[in-house]
Structure 1
Amino acid sequence: MSQPTVVRPYGDTTGDGMVQVSFTLPVPHDKRAEGAALQLAGKMGLAPALLVHARAVGPAHTFFIVYGSVSHLVDLAQVQVVERDHPLLTPKEVNAAIRERLRRPLVVVGACIGTDAHTVGIDAILNIKGFAGEKGLEYYSEVRVVNLGAQVLVPELVERAREEQADAVLVSQVVTQRDAHISNTTQMAAAFREAYPAGQVPLLVVGGPRFEEGSAGQLGVDRIFGRGTTPGEVASYLVHALVENGRSSA
């Protein structure tokens, strides 16, 4: 059975367009607040809209969950995603590729920059304990990891990357208020390009749950990884970009 190219959301029956959305309004919880939530749902295209949950969040805010049908269609032919263009390697294959082709350890410097203190993401990729049943990059015998931790200033990251002669710089950004992850990333990319001669900038890799994977070029980095990324995926990319393609700072 062939897959349709145009689809609608599914709730109770195929193609009924039912979706559930949640949001907070800066108003106290009362009947007027509930009416405001339904008005917003209507303007979002939910018709009819059903208010299924409303709860006060302090004295001046209310959290809502609204359920309703939308008329919008999704054209699968127009969906753009970043596909992996290289094989997913085992730790043994990663180590062998680095040892045979690079002939020295691959140096990775990682950090959370700016005011971001959430190290769960960067630690999941770098620390030996890893994530999702996979060991982190510290487990790889041919990878030397320098984990700078949280709240690292961009100038400090650049300086340390130069000291360590980093092949790749991995940055995790979880805090997204006021698009802090976007401004931090663009600032970081610009700082590296200013500090390094053309063609010698380390591979710049950024990860976080709110990044659009296709926006790497726009932000000035080489690759963006989203939520659920495993250490093996990052290691395979580093081998592809730095070892197989010959892009190395050495």
Structure 2
Amino acid sequence: MRPYGDTTGDGMVQLSFTLPMPHSKVAEGAAAQLANKMGMDPALVVHAKPMGPDFTFFVVYGRVNHLVDPSKVVVVERDYPLLTPKEANAAIKRSLRRRLVVVGACIGTDAHTVGIDAILNIKGFAGEKGLEYYREVKVVNLGAQVSVPQLVERARAEKADAVLVSQVVTQRDAHLLNTREMSAAFRESYPSDKRPLLVVGGPRFDEAMADELGVDRIFGRGTTPGEVASFIVHRMSTRTQERKAS
């Protein structure tokens, strides 16, 4: 299939970007040229706005001829059941026989707590209560700009079952570097069978990179508290069953 703009299969798409040039006719021509080289033909600059004296923001509209085959798309599907808070609480009591401990933070220089707060705070997100609402979950929210050593130390002190990290700042792949540093630190500090679940989330993560980054799960934009809670409960229940079996 092709993108849909005005008519089915016409391949029309809209693209936005910034060029490090003052706004001018030349800048608009450069934007059209870039869009052409990206496969848009024809490419129409429909919006151009100066961003200070040295930058210009563009929106370009045009046609592409590329085809998309949905049968070849690879995504990370949810492989665990979605639980209500009541069901999650019951599963925790049944499998752990104690409260589940979750430690959350924004690490490195990231000061954007909106994501971690949406998952942990009782007010939650998208109509769902955060993990603080779950009676059988103890939540420790460390807030923003937490160093990796501080996170590991607090996780050990709290005997965390799961560690949640939110990363919004992505300049120079800071979210990837921070996540790799975090996962390495936990693997150095814990025996493999004692390490807490490592869960990261943010709008720019690729959910398929969990193994590459050394974490147990990656959640992207739009994730709800219920999805995170259900994953943690499912994995902790599975881990407990495996330990009993061995």
Fold-level similarity (TM above 0.5): yes
2:106 to 86, 105, 112: 112
1:100 to partner: Cα distance: 1.3
1:121 to partner: Cα distance: 0.4
1:247 to partner: Cα distance: 7.5
Change in 2 beyond 3 A, CA 1:247/1:194:
farther
Output the CA distance in 2 between the equivalents of 1:101 and 1:140: 16
Query: Are 2:58 and 1:64 equivalent residues in the alignment?
Result: yes
The TM-score with structure 1 as length reference comes to 0.95
Equivalent residue of 2:240, what SS? Answer: coil
The equivalent of 2:41 in structure 1 is 47
The equivalent of 2:179 in structure 1 is 185
The equivalent of 1:218 in structure 2 is 212
The equivalent of 1:75 in structure 2 is 69
Encode CA deviations 1:82-115: one digit per residue, 9 max, x unaligned.
Answer: 1111110000000001011110000000000000
Task: Name the amino acid aligned to 2:157.
Answer: E
Query: Are 2:240 and 1:246 equivalent residues in the alignment?
Result: yes
Change in 2 beyond 3 A, CA 1:148/1:69:
same
Equivalent residue of 2:48, what SS? Answer: strand
Output the CA distance in 2 between the equivalents of 1:248 and 1:48: 58
Task: Name the amino acid aligned to 2:25.
Answer: K
Output the CA distance in 2 between the equivalents of 1:200 and 1:100: 20
Task: Name the amino acid aligned to 2:40.
Answer: L
Change in 2 beyond 3 A, CA 1:225/1:248:
farther
The TM-score with structure 2 as length reference comes to 0.97
The equivalent of 2:169 in structure 1 is 175
> Aligned-residue CA RMSD in angstroms?
1.2
The equivalent of 1:136 in structure 2 is 130
Encode CA deviations 1:175-203: one digit per residue, 9 max, x unaligned.
Answer: 00111000000000000001111221110
Query: Are 2:222 and 1:228 equivalent residues in the alignment?
Result: yes
Task: Name the amino acid aligned to 1:17.
Answer: G
Equivalent residue of 1:55, what SS? Answer: strand
Output the CA distance in 2 between the equivalents of 1:246 and 1:45: 52
Gaps of 5+ in 1: 1-6
1:248 to partner: Cα distance: 9.7
Whether the 8 Å CA contact 1:203–1:222 is kept in 2: the answer is yes
Output the CA distance in 2 between the equivalents of 1:169 and 1:100: 21
Output the CA distance in 1 between the equivalents of 2:140 and 2:93: 19
Output the CA distance in 2 between the equivalents of 1:80 and 1:31: 41
The equivalent of 1:9 in structure 2 is 3
1:245 to partner: Cα distance: 3.7
Q: What percentage of aligned pairs have identical amino acids?
A: 75
Task: Name the amino acid aligned to 1:104.
Answer: R
The equivalent of 2:121 in structure 1 is 127
Equivalent residue of 1:246, what SS? Answer: helix
Runs of 4+ in 1 over 3 A off after TM superposition: none
Change in 2 beyond 3 A, CA 1:9/1:37:
same
Change in 2 beyond 3 A, CA 1:125/1:247:
farther
Change in 2 beyond 3 A, CA 1:247/1:146:
farther
Output the CA distance in 1 between the equivalents of 2:21 and 2:194: 53
Query: Are 2:231 and 1:237 equivalent residues in the alignment?
Result: yes
Task: Name the amino acid aligned to 2:163.
Answer: V
Output the CA distance in 1 between the equivalents of 2:83 and 2:242: 19
Encode CA deviations 1:186-238: one digit per residue, 9 max, x unaligned.
Answer: 00000000111122111000000000011100000000001111111111001
Output the CA distance in 2 between the equivalents of 1:164 and 1:57: 47
Encode CA deviations 1:30-49: one digit per residue, 9 max, x unaligned.
Answer: 11111111110100000011
